Structure 1
Amino acid sequence: MAVNMAASGEDQRPRGSESSFSSHGHSSRLPNSPTLPWDKFSNWLHCICVVTFDLELGQAMELIYPGHIKLSEKEKMNICYLSFPDSNSGCMGDTQFCFRIRQSPGRKAPSHTDTQWERDAPVYLHRDHAHYYGYVYFRQVKDKSSRRGYFQKSLVLVTRLPFNNLFNFLTEIVAPEYFDNGEPCLEAACHDIDQWPSPQPGETLSLPMMGMVIQVRIPSKQDKLATTPVQVIHQQSTSPIPAPYVLPSLHEADIFKCLHPVLPHVQMLWELVLTTEPIIVMAPSPTVCSETVLALTSMISPLNFCSDFRPYFTIHDSEFKEYTTKTQAAPPVVLGVTNPFFAKTLQHWPHIIRIGEMGNIVSGGRQMLKTKKSSSLKTIDAKPGVYTTYKPFLNKDKNILKRLQKGIASRRPNEVQTAMLKRYLLELTQSFMIPLERYVTSLMPLQRNVSPWKQAPRLKPFEPEEFLKTVEHSGPQLTSGLRGDWEGLYRRFFRSSNFEGWLRARQQEVDDKLQALHLEALCDADLSLWIQGRPEVEVVDLVLKLREKMRFAASNKVCVKDEVLHRLTLHLDGIIRALPEDLRTILKSS
């Protein structure tokens, strides 16, 4: 059953065997069943929360479902405060938005979620093991039966997965039904999700949800980078089975709609996001600010944004003091806010985007410089615009702006405008990253240097100054017509968490590949010949190293063919049989 979390913060899982837990008709685990109840649910969501307004407590957690899920007090507090629009927003009716909060220290993601998904999915869709995403559907309507005169409640999907479009669509289905018909609808929705297959990169899944079917394709790391929107055709069907609703994208933001108010500055914003500069988005509603923040962080795709970002942030957030202190430089985070209080509190931040009502920007999006005087409060009542003293490294590309402005004037479909802007940003990011990828490739050892008789080689260290020497002759100018200080932009990028995250991921990919090549070299080697005449201690050392490598490969950290593992097993058995009986016994039992 659902749990009144305002009354109790305790874990509501029944005592005894977890496999016997049932809250909506789940039976105990069958002898041959590969999963427990809620395992499939946890592949997608952590839990669903309902937050209501209590006259005495303010925003309060009404229930958490499934009932056995445990959230820390800080997590519950942050979810409660972030699930309602700020009082200054004045949102009436239904409002959807997204937030992101830190997980409490020591919390671990379920182990069954970390294998094939994180190996085969694009890095920007990996589970976030340090944060939760909250997808909110808030309703505020007049209600004479309420002492306060209003019905105010939010349904929140809490998850580690950044599937923005899917989860926003899911709240559109579940929340209105729950608000109108109560808890049985929530139970039915959770039961449906617990029947969903695990997200598999490259597959198109049909996901049943409360009488309908959502069809969505899960992106794969092997996908070709798309620059045009998916065209969805809904065909009429005479079948009694309803046609599935095809979701065009699992996660992609409508970046033209979101960035339209700041279109003249899109290239500068790309530089700020690329180098993880601190950015504040001030908007009139949590919907606009959260969508804008998500669009900003996606501007550098397929490069993963590795710094912190908060699509919606309030003064009640537990990190408020950490982010607003004036005793040190602003942290590298993108914050979305609605409360005018932040205009004063965060006016020392170097980059502020102000979006007006309906997303309009005045003066044709003319860039306005934020005053440097700390005593001045000019930005509090300032007009919409981009306030910054940042000087871009690259010259402005006027062609893309002219094309997009022409599309606005001719009322070109939004999907086409988005495709044009996506293509431009993708090509800009690729032009910047290709020289870096080329340099990393030059750091790889030659395959002929992979020897079964030595340790697997590793990637050589990345030397920024050595890389910069290559920029003049084989830099971004080979694929981009933009001119400017590319070297200066690279230097700034090298100081960012985006560079650290990219390099760490590339190093891991290369090292995994080298480990796989080393295993194949061991397969091809005549190990039975090598051990002849060797001291027993060396042979035992070889056995232990082979076992370690096989465990490493079997754990999916390295993509190795089953045939390679089979041949290594045969090698290992042959080596052990060649040892004296006492050693064979010890090794077999270890």
Structure 2
Amino acid sequence: MDALWGAAPRPPPPGLDSSESPGSTPTAARRLRRPPLPWARFSSWLECVCVVAFDLELGQALELVYPYDCRLTEKEKTSICYLSFPDSYSGCLGDTQFSFRMRQSGGQRSPRSMDDDDGYNKGAPVTLQRETAHLFGYVYFRQVKDSAVKRGYFQKSLVLVSRLPYVNLFQSLLNLIAPEYFEKLVPCLEAVCNEIDQWPPPVPGQTLNLPVMGVVIQVRIPSRVDKLESSPVKQFNQENLLPAPLVLSSVNELDLFRCFQPVLIHIQLLWELMLLGEPLVVMAPSPTISSEMVLALTSCLTPLKFCCDYRPYFTIHDSEFKEYTTRTQAPPNVVLGVTNPFFIKTLQHWPHILRIGELKMSGDLPKQVKMKKLTKLKTLDTKPGLYTSYKTYLHKDKTLIKRLLKGIQRKRPSEVQSALIRRHLLELTQSFIIPLEHYMASLMPLQRAVTPWKTPPQIRPFRQDDFLKTLEHAGPQLTCVLKGDWLGLYRRFFKSPNFDGWYRQRHREMTQKLEALHLEVICEANILTWVKDKSEVEIVDLVLKLREKLVSVSPLPSLLLPPTPIRPSPPLPRYIALRGTRTGQGSWPVMA
């Protein structure tokens, strides 16, 4: 290659890495050597911490944002204020915890806002990647009697704002810091934020010890190459951690059994509604119940990402209120968690409404929500019910329901019941998605079709009819015992945002794989042999094209990561298909 590129390269100017040129994109190593911005470690976990108080004249008011230089827009501040208090405080004496998710509005962002320079999203499961267009809020609301206040009540919320969907971790963190904050106020909060700023960043696949207020939280950050099974955190270095750490089994998983107790007999139907991205309203008596139910529902599709919008807690003050409640168009693909009775009338036109109350028992079993027709939904009626005319494509799994109900009677631990539900939903989603993965893999060109002198061959288009023809011999019936209209379910899935999101993600990964393979064959090619019978113009064109190619793909680490696994065993077929033939779709200008 020296003969092509000329003399040996000069050493880089001071301050540049040996792999960089003055006009090139900084490499990952170069970025790592930059001095970190203030609060950079803190920002890898949280955007900010907010305190929202009730003001007699203003209503909810943002009392504090920390760190102080966090740049929230006025629209975001208003949303946080309204979403941090329950719609009705009358039944919320004491402490209440819940979550919300809101759209990020435009405006200048904080200079330390994460743009995934740390590579987190590349290694994290698609369901746990950092949000770019939304912010999560984790709320600890306290309402207690206080004669020193005019209204007679102390009402305040401590809110953690983050781009990470780590509901279990952040609610556990609030359990530690909120009671202490309400006693000691700002100095305590500043100390906690400084401790979080010393935490190591969330690196997929690593088990971390996170010290805060004399307690060490131990948690494992999931990785996209993990086996999709429930795996408890392995404790380590216990002798150096005194007192014993608070070990969390997961950063994000909820107690599914507790969430789904009133709807156990409808799990199959609700899974289908989530898979198809159907509009659904969850009406609950408190933001705690509404937010947990919405988060449990949207997690049903793991490892498939839920690509529709969802709001664990939604109020009439939300900036999207008019957008979601208009009757001039069909309801959007969104799952809303609400508590205000006003929504019963406002959202009466929605096709699916789940109305749940406080859990009631029928003997020693939880009372189950009944399916009802939408026409029977009355504004003044407070009875729970699943109001929908939807007919499931798959038959109900009665075996699962019997096992869960028998587990209740035998007082089986909640975590075991949750594991049963999680495994059932995981196997159901895997059975549905694996045929799609197999077909998608068959659209990948053969590895031998990738040559150094031509542009990489294109991925063949996804043809729905061709895919449906494969189901007879390679369909979900091979791994799932459930009977039903699988073809009808796939046809409807193709119209959903979840299919669009899945296809775009897979196509992007396959394109990156092709680019990586193309670079590999270029690196292994014998350039000197090729140029022997070529003209000077052709050689110069090749050199320029190679240079352009290398600059366009630098840095490379993201291209070499494996795709998200869907099933641990047996492994999915490689993206490079081992059957059929495929030729390149075009040539580089030098060969034209």
Do both share a fold (TM > 0.5)?
A: yes
State the SS of the aligned residue for 1:550. Answer: helix
Pairs within 5 Å for 1:187-586: 187-226=190-229, 228=230, 230=232, 241-358=242-359, 364-365=367-368, 367-372=370-375, 378=378, 380-551=380-551, 552-554=553-555, 556-559=557-560
Q: Which amino acid aligns with 1:179?
A: F
Tell me if the contact between 2:145 and 2:152 (Cα under 8 Å) persists in the aligned partners.
Answer: yes
Contact 1:286–1:337 (Cα < 8 Å) also in 2 = yes
Stretch of structure 1 that moved more, 430-439 or 457-466: 457-466
Alignment of 1:140-219 (within 5 A): 140-219=143-222
CA contact (8 A) 2:407 2:417 kept: yes
1:209 is matched by which residue type in structure 2?
A: V
Give the superposition deviation at 1:396: 1.1
Change (3 A) 1:269 1:139: same
Determine if contact 1:116/1:556 at 8 Å carries over to the other structure: no
**2-structure distance, mates of 1:235, 1:531:** 59
State the AA in 2 paired with 1:191: N
Q: Distance in 2 between matches of 1:89 and 1:510?
A: 54
Distance 1:359 1:105, change over 3 A: farther
**2:441 partner amino acid:** T
How far apart are 1:547 and its partner, in Å?
Answer: 3.2
- In the TM superposition, residue 104 of structure 1 has moved relative to its aligned partner by 0.9
Change (3 A) 1:96 1:290: same
Instruction: Please list every run of 5 or more consecutive structure 1 residues that lacks an aligned counterpart in the other structure.
Output: 1-30, 562-590
For residues 200 and 219 of structure 1, the distance between their equivalents in structure 2, rounded to whole angstroms, comes to 8
Residue 388 of structure 1: how far off its partner (Å):
0.7
User: Which residue is 1:102 aligned to?
Assistant: 103
Residue 545 of structure 1 deviates from its aligned partner by 3.4
TM-score, normalised by the number of residues in structure 2: 0.85
Report the alpha carbon displacement of residue 507 of structure 1 after superposing the two structures with TM.
0.8
| CA deviation string 1:76-127 (max 9, x = no partner) | 0000000001126621111100000000136668355245211111011111
Q: Does the 8 Å CA contact 1:553/1:559 hold for their aligned counterparts?
A: no
- Alpha-carbon deviations, 1:339-378, whole Å to 9, x = none? 1111111111111111112366999425322334xxx752
Q: CA deviation at 1:175?
A: 1.4
Question: Structure 1 pair 410/268, CA: closer, same or farther in 2 (3 Å)?
Answer: same
Preserved CA contact (<8 Å) 1:553 1:560: no
**Per-residue CA distance 1:280-322 (angstroms, 9 max, x = gap):** 1111111111000000000010101010000000111111111
Indicate how the Cα distance of structure 1 residues 176 and 381 shifts in structure 2: closer, same or farther if over 3 A, else same: same
Separation (CA, whole Å) in 2 of partners of 1:410 and 1:363: 13
Structure 1 residues 334 and 89: CA distance shift in structure 2, 3 A: farther
> In the alignment, is residue 130 of structure 1 matched against residue 133 of structure 2?
yes
Pairwise CA distance, 1:144 = 0.8
CA gap of 1:100–1:464, structure 2 versus 1, over 3 A, is same
1:548 Cα shift? 3.8
| Residue type of the alignment partner of 1:473 | H
The 1:418/1:37 distance shift into structure 2, 3 A limit, reads same
Q: Provide the aligned length of Structure 1 versus Structure 2.
A: 526
State the shift of 1:532 in Å: 3.7
Question: CA 1:278–1:560 in 2, change beyond 3 Å: closer, same or farther?
Answer: closer
Q: 1:264 to 1:234 in 2, by over 3 A?
A: farther
Letter in 1 for 2:131: D
Structure 2 residues not aligned, in runs of 5+: 1-31, 563-592
Q: CA deviation at 1:530?
A: 2.2
Q: Give the TM-score normalised by structure 1.
A: 0.85
Q: CA deviation at 1:379?
A: 5.3
Cα deviations by residue, 1:230-281 (Å, 9 ceiling, x for unpaired): 27889997x7832221111011121111011111000000000000001111
Corresponding letter in the other structure for 1:59: Q
Counterpart code for 2:232: V
- Aligned equivalents of 1:301, 1:167: Cα separation in 2: 20
Equivalent-residue separation in structure 2 for 1:172 and 1:520 (angstroms): 51
Aligned to 2:123: 120
Change (3 A) 1:380 1:539: farther
Contact kept, 8 Å, 1:297 with 1:305, in 2: the verdict is yes
Deviations 1:428-455 (A, max 9, x none): 0011011001100111111111111111
Q: In the TM superposition, what is the alpha-carbon distance from 1:157 to its structure 2 partner? A: 0.6
> In the aligned structure 1, how far is the partner of 2:366 from the partner of 2:242?
52
Structure 2: distance between partners of 1:235 and 1:142: 44
How far apart, in 1, do the equivalents of 2:261 and 2:490 lie?
27
Contact 1:47–1:158, Cα closer than 8 Å, also in 2: yes
Q: Which residue of 2 aligns with 1:84?
A: 85
2:101 touches 2:136 (CA, 8 Å); kept in 1? yes
**2: distance between equivalents of 1:33 and 1:508?**
30
* 3-state SS of paired residue (1:353): strand
**1:383 CA drift (Å):** 1.5
Change (3 A) 1:275 1:240: closer
**Superposition deviation, residue 538 in structure 1:** 3.8
> How far apart in 1 are the matches of 2:561 and 2:543?
19
Letter in 2 for 1:467: F
After superposition, give the CA deviation of every residue in 1:141-199 in whole Å (9 maximum; x if it has no partner).
Answer: 01111111111000111111101111111111121111100101111111011111111
Rounded to whole Å, the distance in 2 between the matches of 1:413 and 1:82 is 33
Q: What's 1:57 paired with?
A: 58
How far apart are the structure 2 equivalents of 1:110 and 1:542?
A: 40
Q: In the alignment, residue 426 of structure 2 is paired with which amino acid?
A: L
Describe the shift of the 1:278–1:335 C-alpha distance in structure 2 as closer, same or farther (beyond 3 A): same
SS of residue matched to 2:175: helix
Amino acid of the structure 1 residue aligned with 2:394: L
In 2, the alpha carbon distance for the partners of 1:348 and 1:252 equals: 32
Aligned to 1:18: none
- Structure 1, 31-40 or 348-357: larger mean CA deviation: 31-40
Q: CA deviation at 1:471?
A: 1.4
CA distance in 1, matches of 2:203, 2:457: 32
Amino acid at match of 1:294: L
1:504 aligned partner, one-letter code: R
- Where 2:137 maps in the other structure, the secondary structure is strand
Shift in CA distance, 88/347, structure 1 to aligned 2, threshold 3 Å: farther
Q: Distance in 2 between matches of 1:281 and 1:548?
A: 53
Residues 401, 522 of structure 1: CA spacing in aligned structure 2 closer, same or farther, 3 A cutoff? same
**For residues 76 and 366 of structure 1, do their structure 2 counterparts lie closer, same or farther at Cα, with a shift above 3 Å needed?**
closer
Q: 1:112 to 1:315 in 2, by over 3 A?
A: closer
- Counterpart-to-counterpart distance in 2, 1:363 and 1:218: 34
